[in-house]
Structure 1
Amino acid sequence: MSEPVRWGVLGAANFAREQMARAIHAAEGADFAALATSSAEKAAGFTAFNPGLRIHESYDALLADPDIEAVYIPLPNHLHVGWTKKALAAGKHVLTEKPIAMSAVEIDDLISARDASGLLASEAYMIVHHAQWQRARELYRDGAIGKLIHVDGLFSYDNAADPDNIRNRPESGGGGIPDIGVYTYGATRWVTGQEPLSITHADVDFENGVDVLARVSARFDGFTAHWVNSMRMHPFQEMTFMGEEGVIRLTAPFNANLYGPALVELHRNIGNGHGASVTTERFAAANHYVDQVETFSRSVRTGEPYPWTLEDARGTQAMIDAVFAKAREASAS
């Protein structure tokens, strides 16, 4: 068996402490070896579950550590591109939180840097590693619902009471679409394998320079889609793929087993006046963060294709760019 990939985490973000660092620590083929933070208090939250963790007091010091092979970057959105480039230049494989950039053009630069380095770099788009999404895509591509007619996606939460949250701050690249629109938009693209022909509607509400409620529609080749994303609504999430012969519904598509049980429902018409049947598959054991780390580490060691590339991330970011452009067009008219 090959040696585990030695990982470092750039920054002591709460999400890293609660989710991704623990996933690296738990994943087969990965070794959570180092953390970069100048805060002893924040470091203690990581050494509590990994006592042997090496602590670097700066990001540059971690990147200079010759023992570290891969870096996970959970920094605020506006810092992603710069530190991803620095990590690649330091000879590290890089997994950077979503959105990996604030515009599609920036991802072009990352693709060039990745290609020049010969290293693996990707956005931490964990849902494609979850068994429920792999099953949903399999059902769709096997024709379980016939011709696709429409996709609906909703992902919301409420952080209005936390104005200092980076998602509520424009200077850190905040906003609901960069945070959760990536999921409703990207999941539609990943399951169907299609890019939108046009964004037909974008009704976006802003507060303090960040989007807090977005109602967006798009036309694809042969089907339409509508997504709602909000940081000012009751927490809810669901994705539905509606076809001529059936419906695929995911009830906890983005925070599986935290928001609720990971279920994939297949609704089919029985015919002959007997109504509809619903087949439900459950995926309680899957942890998409651990699966993501294991897949990334395996790709580093074996060279096997990684399922979410920078090109995939660019496609979603191009959609986000188009949504904001459509919203500006609508507000100007």
Structure 2
Amino acid sequence: MSEPMRWGILGASNFASKHMGPAIHAARGAKLAGLATSNPDKAAGFLEFCPDLQVFDSYDALLTDPAIDTIYVPLPNHLHVEWSLKALDAGKHVLCEKPMTMQADEFDQLIAKRDDTGLMAAEAYMIVHHPQWQRVRQMVQDGAIGKLVHIGGRFSFTNRDASNIRNRAEVGGGGLRDIGVYVFGAARFVTGAEPDEIAARVRWENCVDVFADVQAEFPDCTYSAYVSTRMHPYQEMLFHGEAGVIRLTAPFNAQVFGEARIELHQPDLGVRVERFPADNHYVLQVEAFGRTVREGAEYPCPLEFSKGTQVMIDRVFDVARTL
């Protein structure tokens, strides 16, 4: 059996401590081996579930350690490109939190560096690794709801903490970059298509978008979605066809928001429900990343896919009217 891929985490973020760190630790073929943080207190949460974790006092120290194979980057948004490139230059594979870039054209240098080094680099867009999304994609493309007519998406939560990075414009905060990637990327993943026309309305607070209402025309269907960081927590995706409806009840935070379920609504069969109570998309993401590195397996969302979602975000900002 081959040695596990040794992962290092660049920065002791709360999300890494609660979700991605434990996922790397639990994933088959992976070992959480290193953490870079200048604050030893922030390492405590990681050491609780991974007591043999090596803690580095700088990012560069982690990047230059030859025992580390792969770097996970959960830094603030505006630092993602810089440190992903540095990790690739250091000979490490890279999985970087979304949004991996602040503008779509920044993906070009990441793609070029990936190709030049022959290393794996990807955005941590975890939902496409969850079986509910792979199933929905198959159902829609196989005609389970007939011709797809409309896609609807909703994703919201409440965060009014002015010090939180999601509410700070200078570090790339805002709802579209934080959660718009989900309602946009999910539609692109299922249909395999890109939007032709986009219209949007955005509400801002302190130069950060806190609500966005988006309409789009895909080649074969219409699309509408809203995201907000100032509304009661809610999430849902709908795929409405001529012969049925597919509804996902916890499309983006499975197990956290609730049990992942697919509801298939059809006239003659009523409602058929498929449940996914145990699947952890963070663990599945790490395992898929490892298979691509080791076996050359196709990765569900290469950098080219992630660039397409960022293109859609950029276009929303370009055309949006201010509420």
Q: TM-score range by the shorter chain?
A: over 0.9
CA distance in 2 between partners of 1:138 and 1:150 (Å): 17
Check whether the contact 1:2–1:301 (CA below 8 A) recurs between aligned residues. no
Structure 2 residue runs of 5 or longer lacking an equivalent are: none
Q: Which residue of 1 aligns with 2:7?
A: 7
In 2, Cα distance between equivalents of 1:114 and 1:37: 26
Aligned with residue 299 of structure 2, among 271, 294, 306: 306
Q: 2 CA distance for matches of 1:43 and 1:314?
A: 32
Residue 48 of structure 1: how far off its partner (Å): 1.1
Residue of structure 2 equivalent to 1:210: 208
Correspondence for 2:177: 178
Give the distance between the partners of 1:261 and 1:51, measured in 2 at CA. 30
| Distance in 1, Cα, partners of 2:202 & 2:300 | 31
Instruction: Return the alpha-carbon distance in structure 2 between the equivalents of residues 8 and 204 of structure 1.
Output: 37
Aligned-partner Cα distance in 1 for 2:256–2:56? 32
- Superposition deviation, residue 331 in structure 1: 4.7
CA contact (8 A) 2:204 2:322 kept: no
Identity %: 60
Question: Would you say 1:318 and 2:316 are equivalent positions?
Answer: no
Unaligned runs of 5+ in 1: 271-275
Q: Which residue is equivalent to 1:115?
A: 115
Does 2:40 match 1:40? yes
Residues of 1 paired with 2:293 and 2:54: CA distance? 22
- In structure 1, what is the Cα distance between the partners aligned to 2:110 and 2:297? 20
- Alignment partners' CA distance in 2, 1:306 and 1:149: 28
Number of the residue aligned with 1:158: 158
Q: Contact between 2:247 and 2:263, CA under 8 Å: does it hold in 1? A: yes
Q: Deviation digits for residues 130-157 of structure 1, max 9, x if unmatched?
A: 0111111111111000111100000000
CA distance in 2, matches of 1:73, 1:141: 33
* AA aligned opposite 1:317: Q
Q: Alpha-carbon deviation of 1:303?
A: 1.6
Give the CA deviation at 1:44: 1.1
Deviation at 1:93, TM superposition (A): 0.3
Rounded Cα–Cα distance in structure 1 between residues aligned with 2:208 and 2:30: 36
Aligned 1:235-254 pairs, distance under 5 A: 235-254=233-252
Tell me what 1:194 maps to: 193
Q: CA RMSD in A?
A: 1.0
* TM-score (structure 1 length as normaliser): 0.96
Superposed displacement of residue 297, structure 1: 1.2
C-alpha displacement of 1:300: 1.2
Matched position secondary structure for 2:297: coil
- Secondary structure of 2:49's counterpart equals coil
Q: Residue 226 of structure 2 aligns with which residue?
A: 228
Aligned to 1:293: 286
Q: Which residue of 2 aligns with 1:261?
A: 259
